A and B are shown apart, each in its own frame.
Chain A
Amino acid sequence: MSNFWGQNNRGRGRGRGRGGGGGGFGANSNDGNRAGANPLLSRLGNTSGQFGDQGYHPGGQGSGSGSGFGSMGPNKSGTFIDSHMVGNSGGTAQVSVKGWRGGTEDSLLKFLDTKLGRPVGVMDIHYRGEIMYITVPSADIAQGLLNLSGIRFAGDKLSFQLKTHPVKFGTGGGGRDGGVSNDSVKLKDRLIALLQTRVDMQSNSLDLSMLGQDKIIASLGTDAQQEEKMYKAILVIAAQIYPGLVTINLAGNGLRSLKGVADLGLHFPSLRNLSLMNNLLADFSALDCVSSMGSTVPLKHLDMLILAGNPMAEAELRLPNGGASYVNKVQQRFPTISMLDMNPVVPRAQPGAGPSKGSGSGAQKQLPFPTEQLFVENQEIGDLTNSFLAGFFSFYDNNRNALADIYDQAAQFSLVVDTTHPTSEFAQTSADSQKHVDFSVYIRLSRNLTRVKSPQRRISSLIVGRASVMQTILQLPETSHPVQDAQRFSFDAWQTLVPVAAGPPQTVAVVAVHGEFTERSSQNLVSFDRVFVLAPAPPGSPAAAAGSPCIITNDQLTIRRYNGFYSWLAPSASAGPAEAPATNTGTGTGVGAGTGTGTSLTAEQQEMARALQEQTGMNAGWTLKCLQSYGWNYQLAISEFPNVRNTLPPEAFQ
């Protein structure tokens, strides 16, 4: 039988040579949650109940660990916030605000201005415990605020109350909060003093490094829990006195999170240089809150960034080819930087631009956060998935009967129809999305658990066993999946170790793929999501004989009205068709890796190509040319690139 699965049989038997793992694909890999020491493996066998205490009861545990998500104890009230001392007068109204502590005073007031649709014009702010009391110019505005009760702000719900008997706040020593006000005035003075010793007005830079050793900070006796608030307060005050800062140094502060400085972009829109050197940031996601990935006011003009000396940078750089993936992970968050850790990098976006996603793809999408085409845990599983999908869809379209070899004896299949009308701009103008598509043949099989209520029907609609699965899928309309066009597919793949009664644990792969097919008879375009659970094909099995690296134990198919593939296209791909930002971008083959030029590239070469392409912005073809001309010496290619850049034609970057 001819091998539809392409060249890639690497999955089988791979474990033998590496660490004696099971025969599965990628069993040697040690990242992710299927590492050998997985606690899951030693604690299986417990059978009872659903969602035990740890699993199903919110509020039981798990809310505020580490550097906190905005939960503040009642004893940590507004100490760090500036109190304006303005008296009440006629016509004004006092409103209490609860639930705002996830954000800063500043961000709250801006938020309220926006939500009210006009300036709130706050005349006075006081605090008592967790409650903020604001005085506004008119009862009208107060009413407007009351109407906002329940609105979400910084992870919490705000509640407003009109104080018909305004709470009086003394100006020192008198009222219950007098001491607090005094403290906060003193605190503000100290922080101003701190800033004055650390600012350089000529260069518009502020040195906030090693605050732990600062006498002024030491005199405040700040404990670790208050640190986040201290940073917020410092930034608020700094923004008031030095709004034009372009450089901020936060090195050596033991920061585990950037929550305290999450408003950097809000306060310092022109910030160009930021050092976070020698802190304790353990994961790249810690950067999200100041980047376009997690902030609505990211650092849009950031040019130089220093992250050296953080665990996440060091860990990444220790990985094979970690230099490229390190730069990649940072640039995903800060596409405008041209220097990282004092090394030049090629910026991905112009300063001031929004997230790089928006720039290339025109008006196609308006997403609340960036999307990406695919995630694979590592190169091996990426290869395996490419190979599997290309083979599977090729069989599914052209020789569905042959899939009997690929489904496990006990395989399960289910089909669900999502009849939602797509709302994307693409769908509004696409004839394929607007067209009436008859899903009745699928709906008969659909086991959407939100609709199918009868337990019997829920069970009977799940197709179990190879023979039944085959019988079912052979009834489905004939299809054509455009596997040669990688950009039309998005997939995620990961792997998991599961215990086996006798012998080493087995590796399984879970693949979630999103894409489209054409129904041959109707020529309708249909979008789908499909999840596979794959196990290694046992040696000598029909699957192995057919050249498939794996067998399918689970297959879940959801079909939807056509909605295109623009949401996961990266800007480079939408600018020039056929450049898939896949793991093996360098080959430009994506899903069809088994049939394209990828066959001649090793995994290492593909990784080099991907990294070089990201570094230089060259297209796949020129990236390959470049690497070939430097004899696949990545370091040489990247170091020579600036010298040859001007000699390259514009199309090299298209």
Chain B
Amino acid sequence: MSSINEIAKQFVEYYYQAFDADRRNLAPLYRPMSMMTWENISLKGADAIIEKLTSLPFQRVAHKITTIDAQQSLPGVNAIIILVTGQLLVDEETKPQQFSQTFQLVEDSGFFVYNDVFRLNYA
């Protein structure tokens, strides 16, 4: 059980560090069956997801994680559901915006992102 918490925390820290450095670095975390929803847009597969992320209309982004919570999720599978809240700052903006993101990681020769739901909430 503790390993789930460790994995979740490591994953989240890695994810946003990679996102902020270069969104293309996130590609290895997704696989062809990965699904992402970004606001109400649905994307399937690593290529489509990375293309969406790299085409977002800002040059620089910095995420600050406020909370992470993780639970083992699906029955019969090694899966983790992670709820993250935080703030993000894009380009020259000085006012951070609050977001929440839900990940479901599934293990299959290493964990990958099976579901990813991003919400720019309470902004």
Contacts and interface: CB of A to CB of B under 8 A. Distances in A.
Q: Do A and B bind each other?
A: yes
Chain B facing A: main interface SS? mixed
B57 A375 contact: no
A533 B14 CA distance: 25
23 contacts: A33-B33, A33-B44, A33-B115, A49-B110, A50-B111, A54-B31, A54-B110, A55-B28, A55-B110, A55-B111, A56-B28, A56-B111, A285-B51, A422-B98, A422-B122, A423-B97, A447-B69, A449-B8, A450-B65, A450-B68, A512-B83, A512-B102, A560-B122
A611 to B, nearest CB: 15
Contact of B121 (A47, A447, A514): A514
Contacts of A533: 73-74, 81
Contacts of A151: 59-60
Interface size on A, as a range, is 35 or more
Contact of A44 (B1, B73, B81, B108): B108
Contacts of B97: 367-368, 423-424
Contacts of B96: 423
B59 to A, nearest CB: 4
Given A40-B33, A296-B57, 14 more contacts: A50-B3, A50-B10, A55-B110, A61-B27, A65-B27, A289-B55, A375-B41, A418-B67, A424-B122, A498-B79, A512-B117, A529-B121, A556-B83, A564-B122
Contacts of B104: 496, 510
Interface string B28-57: 111111110101111110111011101111
A121 to B, nearest CB: 22
Given A33-B44, A422-B122, A498-B74, A514 B100 contact: yes
Given A412-B71, A418-B67, A65 B2 contact: no
Interface of B: 1-3, 5-11, 14, 18, 22-35, 37, 39-44, 46-48, 50-52, 54-60, 65-79, 81, 83, 85, 87, 90-91, 93, 95-98, 100, 102, 104, 106-112, 114-115, 117, 119-123
A177 interface: no
Contact of B11 (A47, A51, A369): A51
A540 interface: no
Contacts of A375: 37, 39-42, 117
Interface string A503-528: 00010101010100000000000010
Contacts of A563: 98, 121-122
A373 B85 CA distance: 18
A423 B1 contact: no
Chain A facing B: main interface SS? loop
A155 interface: yes
A492 interface: yes
